[in-house]
């Protein structure tokens, strides 16, 4: 089930909201939320509910063992991490590994292991609890149902943000659900729904057409449109989902940390990763980069640690070499910035912005296109547009007026409008807009148009569900 579906909007969400409001005590409200969270996950893939429950029991059990037998805590931590990564590795990387090795070992069997939805997210979330418990940064959760709710809570279950247990452990049993929070949560949810349905979905139709072109028919303009459009599509798709998740959490009294902070206005790739998918970046920082030594063991070791982190970041996103390349590609620019290029960027904000935008736009081509050969060809076409002078299909047949409007709105909403109305004299207007009658009318229009598009069966996938 996805947030931007009619079933969720008209049946699931109203039902769980009303029942949770009728049962105001957190103890019983948690049970309602847990039941609906399991139903939410089982809606599309009922068989994998057992995998989710296995993850809950596994991490809850090892948490109890770590708390009870501190002298053997490290052993239990290693076993827990190995078990979690073993499950993730089997379901996510078996096909990739065997397909990679099969040219060297032709006798390897054919496999078709299906990737359970959201396994990367709930696995990392569960591991953070056990690791932080071992480090003494949170207390043990002895109630199995509360642990199940933490791992399976439907707002962030299948596409994040990755919520660390230490950030919400107090909220599980003690949280306030006020009218202000509910209103703020619905406000955030509608903004996210609009991002997803009105901008990302409309752009996605043209993106699919452009990337499906044979290279013989792709002009330089088409290559640039494909890359730029996908840059906007993935941002509004994923940040829209995160907005909806944060809003839903707030409706039920939970405060999740932000997952995006206008990454496309960054002036370096280092800043980009401080603003993009913040929950994943902070996860790798806390549980991989710092344990490896971070930047405390000299420059060479720092560069190696960054290489490892971004290799794993790419691999986390998908079992394919294009994702590995995408991760290492970003790691490369992070390393050269650390080696001194950041000083060059500091001399000119204009150059810094242009450089950063070019880097992540080209990077998204490799993220989107699974064929490394075609991704390289598209990139080459972007920077050598004269190699093809005409195309069998015209650009106008693949880019509708709706797409153009969505692209314009997308560019303005990436941080430009927000920056204008939070600085100087215009910040007064921005402050007055929030929670005003005008904003309420705007949100009503966004909700109405989003539902209208969904009712017309508009293209509606979520990109990060497959990770």
Long-range contacts of the stretch 53-58 (C-beta < 8 A, 24+):
53/148, 54/87, 55/84, 55/87, 55/122, 55/123, 55/126, 55/151, 56/126, 56/144, 56/147, 56/148, 56/151, 56/152, 57/144, 58/83, 58/84, 58/126
Could you give the CA distance from residue 55 to residue 316 in angstroms, rounded to a whole number? 18
State the catalytic residue, choosing from 112, 317, 330, 353.
Answer: 317
Any idea which residue has 């509004």 for tokens? 236
> Of 241, 172, 192, which Cα lies nearest the Cα of 467?
241
Could you give the CA distance from residue 168 to residue 153 in angstroms, rounded to a whole number? 12
Could you give the CA distance from residue 410 to residue 60 in angstroms, rounded to a whole number? 42
Any idea which residue has 């904000």 for tokens? 349
Give the contacts of 19 (CB within 8 A, at least 6 positions apart).
32, 36
- The DSSP annotation for 378-437 comes to HHHHHH-GGG----SS-HHHHS-HHHHHHHHHHHIIIIIHHHHTTSGGGHHHHHHHTTSH
Neighbours of 166 (CB within 10 A): 16
> Is the N-terminal amide bond of 161 cis, ω within 30° of 0?
yes
Tokens of 91: 């379901």
Give the contacts of 264 (CB within 8 A, at least 6 positions apart).
231, 235, 357, 360, 414, 415
Give the contacts of 4 (CB within 8 A, at least 6 positions apart).
193, 196, 197, 201, 244, 450, 454, 460, 462
Strand ranges (E), 118-232:
none
- The DSSP annotation for 190-211 comes to HHHHHIIIIIIHHHHHHHHHHH
Whether residue 112 lies in the annotated active site: no
Could you give the CA distance from residue 242 to residue 195 in angstroms, rounded to a whole number? 10
Radius of gyration of the chain (CA): 23
Provide the annotated active-site residues: 317
């Amino acid at each position: 089930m996805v947030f931007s579906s009619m079933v969720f909007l008209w049946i699931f969400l109203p039902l769980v909201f009303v029942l949770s409001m009728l049962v105001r005590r957190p103890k019983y409200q948690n049970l309602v939320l847990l039941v609906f969270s399991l139903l939410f996950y089982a809606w599309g893939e009922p068989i994998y509910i057992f995998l989710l429950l296995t993850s809950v029991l596994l991490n809850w059990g090892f948490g109890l063992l770590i708390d009870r037998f501190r002298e053997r805590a490290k052993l239990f931590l290693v076993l827990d991490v190995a078990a979690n990564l073993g499950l993730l590795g089997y379901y996510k990387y078996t096909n990739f590994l065997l397909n990679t090795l099969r040219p060297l070992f032709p006798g390897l069997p054919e496999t078709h292991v299906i990737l359970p939805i959201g396994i990367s997210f709930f696995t990392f979330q569960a591991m953070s609890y056990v690791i932080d418990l071992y480090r003494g940064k949170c207390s043990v959760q002895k109630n199995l149902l509360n642990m199940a709710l933490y791992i399976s809570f439907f707002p962030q279950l299948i596409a994040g943000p990755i919520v660390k247990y230490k950030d919400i452990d107090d909220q599980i049993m003690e949280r306030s659900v006020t009218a202000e929070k509910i209103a703020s949560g619905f406000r955030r949810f509608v903004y996210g729904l609009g991002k997803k349905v009105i901008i990302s979905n409309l752009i996605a139709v043209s993106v699919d057409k452009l990337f499906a072109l044979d290279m013989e028919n792709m002009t330089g303009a088409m290559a640039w449109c494909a890359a730029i459009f996908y840059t906007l599509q993935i941002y509004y798709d994923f940040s829209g989902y995160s907005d909806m998740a944060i809003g839903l959490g707030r409706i039920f009294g939970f405060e999740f940390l932000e997952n995006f902070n206008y990454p496309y206005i960054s002036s370096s790739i280092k800043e980009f990763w401080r603003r993009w998918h913040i929950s994943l970046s902070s996860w790798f920082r806390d549980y991989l980069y710092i344990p490896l030594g971070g930047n405390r063991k000299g420059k060479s070791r720092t560069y190696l640690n960054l290489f490892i982190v971004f290799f794993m970041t790419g691999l986390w996103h998908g079992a394919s070499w294009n994702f590995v390349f995408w991760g290492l590609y970003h790691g490369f620019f992070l390393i050269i910035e650390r080696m001194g290029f950041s000083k060059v960027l500091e001399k000119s904000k204009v150059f810094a912005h242009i450089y950063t935008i070019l880097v992540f736009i080209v990077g998204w081509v490799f993220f989107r296109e699974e064929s490394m050969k075609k991704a390289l060809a598209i990139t080459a076409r972007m920077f050598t547009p004269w190699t093809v002078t005409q195309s069998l299909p015209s650009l106008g047949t693949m880019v509708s007026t709706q797409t153009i409007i969505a692209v314009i709105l997308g560019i303005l909403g990436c941080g430009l409008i927000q920056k204008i109305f939070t600085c100087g004299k215009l910040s007064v207007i921005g402050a007055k807009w929030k929670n005003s009658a005008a904003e309420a009318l705007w949100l009503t229009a966004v909700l109405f148009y989003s539902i209208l598009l969904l009712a017309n069966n508009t293209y509606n996938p979520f990109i990060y569900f497959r990770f």
